[in-house]
Amino acid sequence: MTNTRDDVVNAAGRLFAERGYHGTSMRDLGRELGLYGSSLYSHVDSKEGLLVEVVERGAQLFDQAATTALESSDDPVEQLRQLIAGHVGVVLGHRSVARTFLNEARALDAAHRTRVIDARDRYEAAFRGVIREGVEAGVFSAPAGVGVAAIFVLSILNALERWYAPSGPLGQEALVEAIHAFAVRGLRAKH
């Protein structure tokens, strides 16, 4: 019945993801945990600190997923599959954190927002690198540029939190396969 600090951070992630940072009050958050808004301050320093913590956790999860994916293989097609699988894993395993990371960074002060933007750019760079290797190996083609191709794939991945229903007809593995097939075809060099 007693709440831990982690309970507070997790509940904050849920509410920030659902209603947005500015749409969530500390009293809302307290209610979610069965206590008063003012009581939250024995667990955390400030509302903005909670947002920073959730967002940094999101950056961490995506960063780890990308690193693991790149280490899994030397083949660009397979690395892309692992990048996609990793992203899907983060979204399905930590949806609120992912949503807050993707959508609420604008509520951060300039310094923390810069950190998030840098983290996203490093993550994107993993996709760019794999696509570039594929192009150099002659298996991919990116007529509009590697950067644009990476954004297209990431657009599909970042949109998942908006529509994917875990209880729906499309399972996690089928989802990964569908995205990978679509991306690899979209990137496929003529042959």
Closer to a copy of itself by CB, 3 or 16: give it. Answer: 16
Interface with DNA (CB under 7 A), residue from 39, 60, 103, 158: 39
52 binds DNA (CB under 7 A): no
Contacts 24+ apart (CB under 8 A), 57-60: 57/9, 57/13, 57/94, 57/97, 57/101, 58/94, 58/97, 58/98, 58/100, 58/101, 58/102, 59/101, 59/115, 59/116, 59/119, 59/120
CB of 160 to DNA, least distance (A): 28
Residue 167, classed as helix, strand or coil, is coil
Span of 38-46, 121-129, 143-151, 166-174 interacting with DNA by CB under 7 A: 38-46
- Confirm if 54 and 108 have CB atoms less than 8 A apart: no
SS3 (DSSP) at 142: coil
| Residues between 18 and 37 that touch DNA (CB under 7 A) | 24-28, 30, 33-37
Site string for a copy of itself, 125-164 (x = CB under 8 A): ------------------xxx--xx-xx-xxx-xx---x-
User: Binding partner of residue 70 among DNA, a copy of itself, none, CB under 5 to 8 Å per kind?
Assistant: none
Least Å distance between CB 178 and a copy of itself? 4
Three-state DSSP at 43 gives coil
Spatial separation of the C-alpha atoms in residues 145 and 158, rounded to whole Å: 20
Task: By CB under 7 A, name the binding residues for DNA.
Answer: 1-3, 24-28, 30, 33-39, 41-43, 45-48
